Amino acid sequence: MWCRPLPVLLLGVGLAIPVGAPLHAQQDSTPILKVTACWPSDRFRDADELIELTLDRALNAGETLALVIGTLDVTHLTDGNGTRVRYRPNKSALGAGESPIAVYVVRNAKWSQVASLSIKVRNRLGLDEGRVLPTVDVNSAGQLAQGGNAAPTGGRERYQDLTLRVGAESNLTRDAWRIALQANTVGVSREDQRLQYETLQGGAPQLDLSDYKAELTRGMSKVQIGNLSASNQKMLLDGFSSRGIGGTVQVGPRATVNANVMNGTNAVGWSNALGISRSEHRLTSAALSLEMIPSRPGGFHVAVTGLDGSVLPIANFNQGSVTDAEQSTGYGGQLGLSNPSERIKFTGGLARSRFTNPVDRLVAGDSTIVAVQPVTRTARYGEMTVQVLKEHRIRDSLRMDLSAVVRHERVDPLYRSLGASTQADLQSNAVELNGTIGALALAGRFGRTNDNLAGIASILTSRTNQSALTAAMPLSAVIGLKGAWYLPQLALSREGTHQFGDGVPANGEFAESDIPGQANVNTTAALDWTRNTTTLNYRWNSSAQDNRQVGREMADIDGTVHALSLGYAPTEAVNVSLETSRERQRFAETDATQQLHRIGAIARWKVTPLTDLSTNISRASSEDPAAGVTSNNTELQFEASRAFTLYRMIDNQPQGRVFIRFARVLASQTPQFAGAILSRDLRWTLNAGGSVRFY
């Protein structure tokens, strides 16, 4: 019998002592009684399993023991003698879940609690936990009317589209075993919005299975069926999601084995529920992970991954594209290291993949196609992070942090793995610095990429240099005037990109004017003020595109943006914001300047806890001197919505909401000089819809 000591004081303050009794009368020479629960408090038990308690001494004359489980006094159903107390409940005596147990000593008709225990009871199905959470909701979006001289003639003037979502989620546990189930279906009234419309067109089911997953877990080991995601190696198998079967088994404290068999493309629908019915259209992977220092995960981590896959020319369910048959087989490894303080971390990996495009007769038809030869190529990556300074003291009230990250990636020409999205024939190196000095935050990034890694003389080699610097500081904290609302939060950033070709390729039919060359610089500054219910933001942006391609040196573009926004929220129910901006772009090649002015306002009012009103109005005006035209665009939108509850709140929210929305757009063009309006297009729509969640 499992027993755990649980000492409890026999008498508490004021429990068995009469009010106003003298101090010497409160002394009690009765030995302290200790109660032991003979079951593990963290384990669930069957409803009719024996409940047994042990006492560290026999009861004295005039003492009796009382046992209360929850609100049920079961004293008269207990038995035992000496230091043993037993109670065997029937199956319906105890409710499922955790129940408190109180043990009392009764002396002279006075009850004194000596133990407070708890017991966990399985439900009628013999499960520690068994719950099913269904979800059913209906959404409606439609148009009641439309008008204006710009109203489309071929579209639907009036419609109401319905979407039904039905799902369920459950968790079933007993001891160390756990089964988790979840599934979601989607029904759509509009044909071209159905899940499989892109691939099945008119044959797409109106109610379709969106996703499902069943998982059986014991400890760190598990088996999964349904929609899975695998990310075992960055260059070989990274974020691949589809239907399939997978499992993870922990072997000892260090090793974990993972294996998956998955459909070659992401799939939905009722057919091919497991996703592995076609051997020529699936990916099979296996991985072994080792934590060489179990007490410090990530301190010395080694993983090896293998992948074998082939796909048919079948697009994902939401793609209407024409694809090709592909095959890849590969393996890879990765290493993770960190020192005990985790101030130095390294992650790196190497993958090798054999890829081929088998001849597809459906694509080739009667044409003579030269077979693509299989190629085996390598990809690698590495990243090291060093915490150079950590809370370094500059002075008593000023601390400094500094970290550096170095990244390297290289993907060989023609490298391809079906389980990862990689860009072949590319090498990149980057350095990042992040630091803080008190309230000042600084970050910088410098990177270089290049292609044509095989150095083929007739192929253009492109290079890209990138740099980025950012700074953020609350001026009140930097200056030392905390709480000074008139000192704003300042943010600065500068990004630069230089893309250019590395010389003129030999025998590649390139002229010097074909070699690209362009440098871009983007600079932004922002100021934010906040005081009570008012916020003010100013943003300035400057962009410069310097074209350095031979013959296009004058094709430069400079742009400037000034934007100002003001927000006011006097109460939680009212929110108003105003925005205005002015943009300018200058084209050096044509010596033309375009300008855009915009002003807008948004207002929201929560009239009642269930009723919301909102409106949005904006006007944009652009000037194009080259065309001699000024364009104006005015938009107005008003929406009213009402929440409701049919029979109960769900997640503390109303079950449903209905809305009606009116939108009006007026676009016009006028000459910059005197003249008649060139065009005037007006369109308005009246939309309505709603949503209801039944569970």
Tens digit of pLDDT for each residue in 279-292? 899 999 999 999 99
Whether residue 641 is predicted with pLDDT greater than 60 in this model: the reply is yes
Residue with tokens 């974990």: 256
Question: Does the residue 334 lie in any domain?
Answer: no
3-state secondary structure of 476: helix
Whether residue 634 is predicted with pLDDT greater than 90 in this model: the reply is yes
Question: Does the residue 410 lie in any domain?
Answer: no
Max mean pLDDT among 6-10, 632-636, 645-649 falls in 632-636
- Band (pLDDT 50/70/90 cuts) for residue 381 is very high
Q: What pLDDT is stored for residue 678 in this prediction?
A: 74
Q: For the segment 598-610, what is each residue's pLDDT rounded down to a tens digit?
A: 999 999 999 999 9
Q: What pLDDT is stored for residue 10 in this prediction?
A: 29
- Band (pLDDT 50/70/90 cuts) for residue 243 is very high
Closest CA to 325 of 309, 304, 342: 309
Whether residue 14 is predicted with pLDDT greater than 90 in this model: the reply is no
Question: Does the residue 218 lie in any domain?
Answer: no
Question: Does the residue 683 lie in any domain?
Answer: yes
Q: How far apart are CA 505 and CA 510, in angstroms?
A: 7
Local structure of residue 79 (DSSP, 8 states): B
* Domain tally, the chain: 2
Percent of the chain with pLDDT over 90: 57
Whether residue 29 is predicted with pLDDT greater than 80 in this model: the reply is no
Measure CA of the first residue to CA of the last residue in the chain; give whole Å: 45
Name the domain boundary from 102, 125, 148: 125
Q: What pLDDT is stored for residue 361 in this prediction?
A: 60
Mean pLDDT (whole number) for 478-507: 89
For 10, the domain range is 4-125
Which CATH number covers residue 44?
Answer: 2.60.40.10
Local structure of residue 488 (DSSP, 8 states): P
Closest CA to 122 of 174, 70, 87: 174
Max mean pLDDT among 69-83, 228-242, 304-318 falls in 228-242
Local structure of residue 364 (DSSP, 8 states): H
Q: What pLDDT is stored for residue 93 in this prediction?
A: 77
- Band (pLDDT 50/70/90 cuts) for residue 405 is very high
Question: Does the residue 209 lie in any domain?
Answer: no
Mean pLDDT (whole number) for 477-505: 89
Whether residue 674 is predicted with pLDDT greater than 90 in this model: the reply is no
Q: What pLDDT is stored for residue 348 in this prediction?
A: 97
Q: What pLDDT is stored for residue 624 in this prediction?
A: 80
- Per-residue DSSP letters for 607-673? EETTEEEEEEEEEEEEEETTTTEEEEEEEEEEEEEEEE-SS--BTTB-SEEEEEEEEEEEEEEEESS
Q: What pLDDT is stored for residue 601 in this prediction?
A: 97
Mean pLDDT (whole number) for 671-681: 74
Question: Does the residue 120 lie in any domain?
Answer: yes
Whether residue 20 is predicted with pLDDT greater than 60 in this model: the reply is no
Q: What pLDDT is stored for residue 413 in this prediction?
A: 95
Whether residue 362 is predicted with pLDDT greater than 70 in this model: the reply is no
Q: For the segment 88-134, what is each residue's pLDDT rounded down to a tens digit?
A: 888 777 888 888 999 999 888 888 888 889 889 888 888 888 888 99
Whether residue 9 is predicted with pLDDT greater than 80 in this model: the reply is no
Name the domain boundary from 78, 104, 125: 125
Question: Does the residue 610 lie in any domain?
Answer: yes
- Band (pLDDT 50/70/90 cuts) for residue 638 is very high
Please report the beta strands in 452-554, taking only residues with DSSP state E, as ranges in sequence order: 462-474, 489-501, 517-531, 534-547
Name the domain boundary from 125, 151, 168: 125
> Sheet harboring 51-55: ordered strands across?
4-7, 34-37, 51-55, 84-87
Confirm if 467 and 478 have CB atoms less than 8 A apart: no
Backbone angles phi, psi at 646, to 5 degrees: -75, -55
Question: Does the residue 332 lie in any domain?
Answer: no
Q: How many CA atoms lie within 13 A of 131 on its CB side?
A: 4
Q: For the segment 503-519, what is each residue's pLDDT rounded down to a tens digit?
A: 888 887 888 888 999 99
Exposure b/e, 509-527, CB count within 10 A at least 16 = b: ebeeeebeebbbbbbbebb
- Per-residue DSSP letters for 229-288? EE-SBTTTB-SEEEEEEEEEEEETTTEEEEEEEEESS---SSSSSSS-S-TTSEEEEEEE
3-state secondary structure of 455: coil
